[in-house]
Amino acid sequence: MTKDTSLIQEMKYNKVTLSFPEKNEVPFLKQYFSDSLLQFRISFVLVTFLYAFFGLLDPVIVPDFATEIQIIRFYFVVPVLSVVFICSFFSFFERFWQDLLFVSFLVAGAGICIMITLVPENYTYYAGLMLIFSAGYFFIKLRFFFAALAGWITFVVYNVGAIFFSDASNTLILSNDFFYASANLIGMFAAYNIEYYARRDFYLNQQLDEQIAEVDHLNVNLEKIIEVRTKELVLAKDKAEQSDKLKSAFLASMSHEVRTPLNSISGFAELLPTADDDDERIEYVDLIMSNVKDLTALIDDIMDISKIEAGLLELAESEFSLNELMNEIIKSFDTNEFVKTKSLKLIAKNSLSEGNSLIISDKKRLRQILMNLVGNACKFTNEGYIEIGYQLYLNEVYFYVKDTGPGIELDKQKNIFDRFMQSTLTHSPEQQGSGLGLAISKSLVKLFKGEIWVESEIGEGSVFYFNLQFKKGNNSTLTFVKNNNENMEYNWKNKVILVAEDVSNNFLLVKKSLRKTEAELIWAKNGQEAVDEFRKNPNIDLVLMDIRMPIMNGLEATRQIKEINPSIPIIAQTAYAMDGDRERSLSAGCDEYISKPINLKEFIELIAKFLEKQTG
């Protein structure tokens, strides 16, 4: 109960005039007018008719004053009432209707007061005044305050007439006053209530409308919340189902993974006593040892995954040389028997000089990530090259591992970092693995507070990127952070560069590369967006165009942008400078071509070539 009433605020109004505060008064008066118009017209027709009709009785009742009284009726009151009635059909009426009704009440009242003054001995006219009061207070819809004012003025007019202009006795005047005052009081009371309830109705309806609107609003919000929650639930359910599937797949794969080397180990161990000679025995032992190595590696992986899952793995920092680490990794694969069977070139692109590359980080885990990525690259790539490198951005270092292998399909790229994903992919026997390498790498990169992602093209190759934060080594001549940035003392504060790039981390890299220059970047996530953004922003100074993008590729986007503005410099970027990509992008209208992963210095200098030309 208390709750219900608290929803409806108390009605605020002036107790004498009944007016609302301004905000509510205007709409109330509008509504009061439209609700009252019909009743006003009916009551006015009736009052005017009665006023005129009684004129027929005047010659019979008061033959001596019939002419004067009829003049009052037909020359004053009836015309005034008729004019007001006619006015009600015009739009201005709404503004003045209460004033006009007030005047009508006064004219009708004054008219009959004069009649009473003329013939004080005839009671019919006294009754007439009572009729005027009731019409004024109840029927014509004059508001309380105006009606009361008109009623009491009429009362005064009667008294002035009766006292000064008629020969009515004091007793008669007093007894009439008693009735007229009573009529006025009753009329006021009734008019007050009529208007009060009209206002209350209006107010309650208004409150109701507001609350309905609020409920509607809440409903809409609720629907939205439910929609969002449902989506979240569906996502969570899908995730749970997927992880369930992956777990089963993992168990199946694990048992296969463990069984394969175990089978070999137990098989050759059984054969060992039956070996013909030492050579055969050595061969069996080698096979056993190699399977033990595989099994140990698998168990290490599983241990890592469980440690990471339990949050037990911590980074152990030490000072080491990045270049040394890169070279070590290349060397370990270069001398690998399996890799030697392929025609692969392994390259390390170290962007810092030897003395400058000392950093403090967890070497063991960083090596583990790189070994996983390079291991995969060697496993899946049969010919071409594998390139590893890094690039520094203030206190972050970005690594990449690029290969010319088979590439990874777009829909699989999303999942390869998930645990045990491998078992859902199809591979040749030598490419089989536990499916844990990338999952472990991803978790390790996370420990380094970095991110890992891949860009790949079927038939051309893959580039894996990851970044991590590092501290500079104590013993290093470390000026490289500064040097690195000093190389690019360009200020492109007022320059706008449109970056068309579908992979968000790659856009981030470009952003970091250009941070110092203060150039403004606009990011388009595909070719179509690039064309749209270019149309929208006529102040773009240069476009960096990734070639392989969904919806519309970079070549088509370049063509369309060059049609809009043939002189805009466009630099194409792609991870693979193969199959005539360079020629294709130049013939599509690109002005230059740079291959990813970008070399910071070359990248900035290339952009400078175009931007500085514009300013220069």
Query: Where do contacts with ligand ADP occur on this chain (CB under 6 A)?
Result: 372, 376-377, 380, 403, 405-406, 408, 416, 421-422, 425, 427, 433-439, 462
Q: CA-CA distance, 44 to 97, in Å (whole number)?
A: 13
Nearer residue to ligand ADP within complex by CB, 462 or 585: 462
Tokens at residue 441, please? 């790498």
d(CA 543, CA 591): 10
- Specify the residue, 253 or 506, whose C-beta has the smaller distance to ligand ADP: 253
Only one residue has tokens 């991803």, namely 442
Residue with Cβ nearer ligand ADP (403 or 529):
403
Least distance in angstroms from the C-beta of 304 to ligand ADP: 12
Angle between the N-to-C axes of helices 363-380 and 322-334, in degrees from 0 to 180, rounded to the nearest 10: 40
- Residue 349's DSSP bridge partners are 389
Strands 452-457 and 461-469: antiparallel
| CB 307 to ligand ADP: min, Å | 17
Nearest distance, CB of residue 325 and ligand ADP, angstroms: 20
Token representation of residue 522: 């606009």
Instruction: Report in angstroms how near the CB of residue 290 gets to ligand ADP at its nearest.
Output: 17
Q: Closest CB to ligand ADP among 5 and 426? A: 426
CA gap 421, 479 in Å, rounded: 42
CB of 454 to ligand ADP, least distance (A): 8
The residue among 155 and 420 lying less far from ligand ADP, judged by its C-beta, is 420
Q: List the structure tokens of 156.
A: 């005064």
Shortest gap between Cβ of 551 and ligand ADP (angstroms)?
A: 25
356 versus 434: smaller Cβ distance to ligand ADP? 434
The 10 Å CB-count burial string (b at 16+, else e) for 228-255 is eeeeeeeeeeeeeeeeeebeebbeebbe
Q: How far apart (Å, rounded) are the C-alpha atoms in residues 72 and 68?
A: 6
Closest distance of CB 433 from ligand ADP, Å: 2
Residue 275 CA to residue 277 CA, distance in Å, equals 6
Which residue number, 112 or 438, has a Cβ lying nearer to ligand ADP? Answer: 438
Q: Which two tokens stand for residue 82?
A: 């008729």
Task: Return the number of the residue (166 or 243) whose C-beta is nearest ligand ADP.
Answer: 243
Q: Which residue is nearest to ligand ADP (CB)?
A: 433
* Of 412 and 512, CB closest to ligand ADP: 412
Residue 104 or residue 456: which is nearer to ligand ADP going by CB? 456
Say if residue 352 is exposed, middle or buried (CB neighbours under 10 Å; 0-12, 13-18, 19+).
Answer: buried
Structure tokens of 376? 């995969």
Q: How far is the CB of 341 from ligand ADP (least distance, A)?
A: 17
Q: Please compute, for residue 287, the number of CA atoms within 13 A of its CA located in the half-sphere on the CB side.
A: 19
CB of 369 to ligand ADP, least distance (A): 11
For 349, the 3-state DSSP assignment is strand
Q: Please provide residue 593's backbone torsions phi and psi, each rounded to the nearest 5 degrees.
A: -145, 135
Residues 6+ apart with CB under 8 A from 324: 354, 357
Closest separation in Å from C-beta 338 to ligand ADP: 13
CA distance 265 to 271: 10
- DSSP code of residue 514: H
Beta bridge partners of 319: 360
Output the smallest distance, CB 301 to ligand ADP, in A.
8
Q: How far apart are CA 414 and CA 412, in angstroms?
A: 5
Alpha helices in 565-599 (DSSP H): 581-587
Secondary structure class of 571 (helix, strand, coil): strand
Closest residue by Cα to residue 562 from 541, 589, 527, 533: 589
Which residue lies nearer to ligand ADP by CB, 43 or 372?
A: 372
